[in-house]
Amino acid sequence: MLEIINDYWVYFLIGQYPNDPLGGLVLTLLLASCGLVLALPLGIVLGLARVSPWRWVRWPVTGLVFVVRGLPLLSSGPTSSCPA
């Protein structure tokens, strides 16, 4: 029984997405938590690089921050490559 749970834990957690009623909710929570786990260290590293005393570290990160701030949200998402 433990082997089955170990092999198919994602299937048991999410279900037959999107056929399972709670599959979408669990998948959304799973993707949101993965995004938080990945975004927090990246944000800390970029924030520390932004206040770095070294110019060669600070300038590229500052440029990246200004470019990302200037992009509209819809043009940077997964739907940006889809035709309207």
User: What's the pLDDT tens digit per position in 35-77?
Assistant: 999 999 999 999 999 999 999 999 999 999 898 888 877 666 6
pLDDT of residue 47: 93
Closest by Cα among 40, 46, 39 to 60:
46
pLDDT of residue 18: 59
Q: Which residues contact 42 (CB under 8 A, 6 or more apart)?
A: none
DSSP states of 7-52 as a string? HSHHHHHH-STTTSTTHHHHHHHHHHHHHHHHHHHHHHHHHHHHT-
Q: Which residue has the higher pLDDT, 19 or 67?
A: 67
Q: How many of the other CB atoms lie within 10 Å of CB of 22?
A: 12
pLDDT of residue 56: 94
- Find the helix or strand (DSSP H, E) in which 4 lies: helix 2-7
The pTM of the full predicted model, rounded to 2 decimals, is 0.57
